[in-house]
Amino acid sequence: MGAAPIEIEGVNHFFGEGALKRQILFDVSAEIRAGEIVIVTGPSGGGKTTLLTLIGALRHVQDGQVRVLGEDLHGASARVVGRVRKGIGYIFQAHNLLTALTAVQNVQMALYLHSDLSRTEIRRRAVEMLEAVGLGPHMDKLPKQMSGGQKQRVAIARALAGRPRIILADEPTASLDKQSGRDAVTLMHDLAKQQGVTVLLVTHDNRILDVADRIIHLEDGRLSSFTAAVAASTQHMMDMLAQHTRKGELAGHVHGLSVEQFAELLREATAECEQFLRVARKRKNQQRETKRTVSRSFRRGSTKRFTQNRGAL
């Protein structure tokens, strides 16, 4: 098995200088394996985007080691940085489409970075990816003629058209409604799995956590397990509810809701709980499967050793 496409070890990062210098990341270490879809959760200002830009070679590594696609980015030359960037597809919160270009032209623009591709091949790949994301009939439309969900689909097509080995997505559902956000992430998940692409996705959206193979949590610049994060978030929520109940704010808020609004509030709360339960079940199943694999490997090894020992007697 080759090296993981993303390896981070002991990374610290700072903003500002002198008295204004502030540490953003603290001894961050992680490994993202090939073909894995990993979601990074955590509150705003916790360092998620900073970490993503370091991995994407969009920011200089100050302290620690960041190895992406086999290249060490600490002190990397412009040539190395350029080579790494070509192997990464970027999807941001804002679709960042060029407003004067059509959907197919926006996707083509990303492919012009690949000097080995002919204009014919560039056009073919752009059309192929737009059809894959369901935008075949809309490829000649300008961004202003498309919905938010369609524009994010163009951004996904643009990121995948270059056949990258890694996709980095920063809050890809933040500007979308519930269904459009879910559709965009499901599409990204399916296409990435088909192409064997590693995906690192930063989000605040709990509704999409179940697409991940693994979830890590970054808060105050430090990584922790998702389980620990859920426990901390639950405690925080309970503390807030208790505080609001004492003040009578919660009761006042609920009392002011219509029957329909209260029903919708209950549905949202139920959906959030069901989402966490789905993620927990998925994690438990993965752990169970890992134990089975280890057990099978151990039994095979024990049988082989026993056979070899019998033959030696």
List of residues 6+ apart from 103 with CB closer than 8 A: 97, 130, 135, 138, 139, 140, 141, 142, 143, 146, 150, 154, 157
Band of pLDDT at residue 298, cut at 50, 70 and 90 = low
157 in Cβ contact with 107 (< 8 Å) = yes
DSSP state, residue 119: H
Residues 280 and 261 in one domain: yes
pLDDT of residue 114: 83
Residues 64 and 17 in one domain: yes
Residue 313 resides in a domain: no
pLDDT at residue 142 is higher than 70: yes
Residue range(s) defining the domain that contains residue 21: 6-226
Provide mean pLDDT across the span 266-287.
65
Residues 130 and 245 in one domain: no
Residue 122 resides in a domain: yes
pLDDT at residue 128 is higher than 60: yes
Give the chain's domain count.
2
170 in Cβ contact with 218 (< 8 Å) = no
Band of pLDDT at residue 174, cut at 50, 70 and 90 = confident
Residue 143 resides in a domain: yes
Strands 166-170 vs 88-91: parallel, antiparallel or unpaired = parallel
Return the CATH number at 173.
3.40.50.300
Residue 119 resides in a domain: yes
pLDDT at residue 48 is higher than 60: yes
Residues 194 and 302 in one domain: no
Q: What is the mean pLDDT of the chain?
A: 82
The edge-to-edge listing of strands for the beta sheet with 71-72 is 22-32, 6-15, 63-68, 71-72
Q: Of the ranges 114-118, 160-164, 196-200, 309-313, which one carries the lowest mean pLDDT score? A: 309-313
Residue of 219 and 268 predicted with greater confidence: 219
Last residue of a domain, one of 226, 258, 289: 226
pLDDT at residue 51 is higher than 90: yes
Kindly state the greatest CA–CA separation across the chain: 84
Residues 237 and 162 in one domain: no
Residues 56 and 17 in one domain: yes
Residues 42 and 155 in one domain: yes
Residues 128 and 252 in one domain: no
CA of 197: how far to CAs of 1, 5, 8, 34, 88, in Å? 16, 10, 18, 7, 10
Band of pLDDT at residue 233, cut at 50, 70 and 90 = low
pLDDT of residue 38: 92
pLDDT at residue 282 is higher than 80: no
Last residue of a domain, one of 196, 226, 256: 226
Residues 102 and 239 in one domain: no
pLDDT at residue 149 is higher than 70: yes
pLDDT of residue 244: 53
Residue 155 resides in a domain: yes
Binning the chain into helix, strand and coil, the percentages to the nearest 5 are 55, 20, 25
Residues 205 and 294 in one domain: no
pLDDT of residue 144: 94
The proportion of the chain whose per-residue pLDDT surpasses 90, expressed as a percent, equals 39
Provide mean pLDDT across the span 257-283.
68
Residue 208 resides in a domain: yes
Residue 125 resides in a domain: yes
Residues 53 and 112 in one domain: yes
How far apart, in whole angstroms, are the C-alpha atoms of residue 89 and residue 155?
Answer: 10
Last residue of a domain, one of 208, 226, 244: 226
Provide mean pLDDT across the span 128-146.
91
Residues 218 and 244 in one domain: no
Strands 166-170 vs 63-68: parallel, antiparallel or unpaired = unpaired
How far apart, in whole angstroms, are the C-alpha atoms of residue 298 and residue 304?
Answer: 10
Provide mean pLDDT across the span 153-166.
89
pLDDT of residue 70: 93
In this predicted model, what pLDDT tens digit does every residue of 183-206 receive, in sequence order? Answer: 878 888 887 888 888 999 998 887
Residue 212 resides in a domain: yes
